Amino acid sequence: MNIALIAHDRKKEMMIQLATAYQDILAKHTLYATGTTGAKIMSATDLQIHCFKSGPLGGDQQIGAMISEDKMDMVIFLRDPLAAQPHEPDVNALIRLSDVYEIPLATNIGTAEILIRGLKEGLADFRVIIHEIEKKPLSL
C-alpha cells in the first residue's frame, strides 16, 4: 500500500515516535511524506520514504494529486489544530480529497495508531481489492 505521512511542525516529534514504534509494519509499504517530515523520519529510523516538497511549498498538493489519481491508499496527517497554517486551504483540500476518494485518513495520533495496527491485521485490504477489480476487463 502507498501511505502518506505528514505532520505539522509541533507534531513532527510525535510522527517520528509513531514511525519508530511501528517501523516493522510501515516498512512493508511504500511510504511518501512531505519534505521535512520525511527527512526527519528517515534520519530517526531505517524507513525509506519518497519525500515531496514541504507542505507550505506544495507537498500537500503533491500528495493530493496522488490521491486524485488513485495512487495513495492511506494518509496519516498529524495536524496541529491550535496553530494557524499559512497553507490551510491546501490542508483542507487534502482532507476533502481523502473523503472524495474514500482514502483512510488519520489526523491525530489515536486514529493513526488504529490505522497502522489495522494494516497489520489486513483491515485496509479493501484498497487492494478495489485495485484488482478495476484492472479486470469488462465482460460483455
Domains and CATH numbers, the chain: 2-135 (3.40.50.1380)
Question: For residues 123 and 25, what is the distance between their CA atoms, to the nearest angstrom?
Answer: 13
Q: Cell 485518513 sits at which residue?
A: 105
Q: What is the mean pLDDT of residues 66-80?
A: 95
- Between these two residues, 130 and 79, which has the higher pLDDT value? 79
Question: For residues 75 and 102, what is the distance between their CA atoms, to the nearest angstrom?
Answer: 11
Banded model confidence at residue 123, pLDDT cuts 50, 70, 90: confident
Does the global pTM surpass 0.85?
A: yes
Res 139: pLDDT: 59
Over the stretch 44-72, which tens digit does the pLDDT of each residue have? Answer: 999 999 999 998 888 999 999 999 998 99
Phi then psi for residue 48, to 5 deg, are: -100, 130
Positions marked active-site: 60
Res 84: pLDDT: 74
Res 81: pLDDT: 83
Query: For residue 29, what is its C-alpha cell?
Result: 509499504
- State the virtual CA torsion across 8, 13, 17, 20 in degrees, nearest 10: 90
Average model confidence (pLDDT) for the chain?
90
Nearby residues of 31 by Cβ (< 8 Å), 6 or more positions away = 3, 4, 5, 38, 47, 48, 49, 50
> Three-state SS for 50?
strand
Residue 140 has pLDDT above 80, yes or no: no
Residue 136 has pLDDT above 70, yes or no: no
Question: For residues 31 and 47, what is the distance between their CA atoms, to the nearest angstrom?
Answer: 8
